[in-house]
Amino acid sequence: MRSHSLPALLFRGRLPLVIGGLLLFMALNDRSFFIPENLLNIVSYSSMNGLLAIGMTMLKISREFDISIGSNLVLSGVVGVLAANHFGPAAGIALGGASGAVMGLINGWLVAKANVNSFIATLGSMVIFQGIAFALTDMKPVACERVGFQTLGGGEWLGLPSPILCFAGVTGLIWFLLKSTRVGKYAYAIGGNLRGCRNLGIAVDRWRIGYFVICGLCASFAGVILASKLGAASATFGENVALVVIAAIVLGGVPLSGGAGSVPGVVGAILLLGLIDSMTIYLNVFGYYQNLFWALLLIGVVVLDALYARRVNRRIELAELLRLKRESQTAAPAEVKG
């Protein structure tokens, strides 16, 4: 429902408004914030969270979520580095990515076939993946011995660091999938009405597993890039990542009940997160003000979301009432005549 009232406009334009406000604040306080290196750095730093969030956007639209992506990132990084050390850089990248797909497959099977609630299922698999990563690395960071492996995360092209390019590529791909292919259309449909889709004869379970696999693939891609950027993998990265990613997705306008949302909103939210991070460093502020700001933003969005939904519902109810009233008015004289 497109309306042009002020609250609706504020609600739709919240991300540009907040980002614009923050940029204005920085422009008044510290001009050196706007040097290209720093802006590029913000985007480069955000692209890890961005890859995770973009993968989860499609999953979230189909009304599931995956909190094991932090562990997925860790485990695929470890697998990638170990495989690169044993079989060469290309095998490292391929096996790291494949391990993410397997993890997504396990999560998807648990949720779609075994009917476990996705929160509980992925909470369990999060602990399992983290445990495997700990066991593989013996709780020590593993260094990468092959130089070739590090070109993925440390390279540059046209002056842009490769994490940004990977992020942009994956974002474009997922955006295309969501906008104009069956994969995306079914994600919206399944998120909107699961039972309806099943009754229509769509192989719902297979698609839902597929969305988990896409999410897992994105997480493992981020893990491999992170490992190759740092030249090492450790089982202690990636704690709390899932919560940040879920928060970014909600800020980006994907409702928790699924069935709606778009890629640009999520990208905006991810950039906002990076912006806040960088701002706290530039302003030399105690780090927890960042958490405070992020928390207030999140609560503000949820409250706004709830109020807006209530408003829309009330308007739909009113319209329904009016329609009923009109029908009864037009129907009543006819009865008298008859």
Partner 1 sequence: MLNNLAVPGIVALGVALIVIAGGIDLSFSSMLACCVALAAWLQPHSFWLALVGPLLLGALLGALNGLIIVKVGANPLITTLGTLWLFLAVLFILAVLYNNYTAKHLALLRVAKR
Residues found near partner 1 in the complex (CB under 8 A)? 29, 119, 243, 246-247, 250, 256, 283-286, 288-289, 291-292, 294-296, 298-299, 302-303, 305-307, 309-310
Smaller CB separation from partner 1, 151 or 313: 313
CB of 37 to partner 1, least distance (A): 22
CB atoms within 10 A of CB 35: 10
CB atoms within 10 A of CB 155: 14
Smaller CB separation from partner 1, 205 or 305: 305
| Radius of gyration for the alpha carbons in the chain, expressed in angstroms and rounded | 23
CB of 112 to partner 1, least distance (A): 20
Contact 283, 30 (CB under 8 A): yes
CB of 121 to partner 1, least distance (A): 15
CA–CA separation, 149 and 83 (whole Å): 10
Q: Is 39 exposed, middle or buried (0-12, 13-18, 19+ CB in 10 A)?
A: middle
CB of 286 to partner 1, least distance (A): 4
Smaller CB separation from partner 1, 157 or 288: 288
Contact 35, 228 (CB under 8 A): no
CA–CA separation, 98 and 152 (whole Å): 16
CB of 302 to partner 1, least distance (A): 4
CB of 243 to partner 1, least distance (A): 6
Smaller CB separation from partner 1, 141 or 255: 255
Smaller CB separation from partner 1, 9 or 256: 256
Nearest to 246 by CA among 126, 146, 102: 126
Smaller CB separation from partner 1, 81 or 215: 215
Q: Is 12 exposed, middle or buried (0-12, 13-18, 19+ CB in 10 A)?
A: middle
- Cα 206 to its chain centre, rounded Å, is 21
CB of 294 to partner 1, least distance (A): 6
Nearest to 62 by CA among 253, 210, 208, 215: 208
Angle between helices 69-87 and 204-230 (to 10 degrees): 60
Smaller CB separation from partner 1, 38 or 291: 291
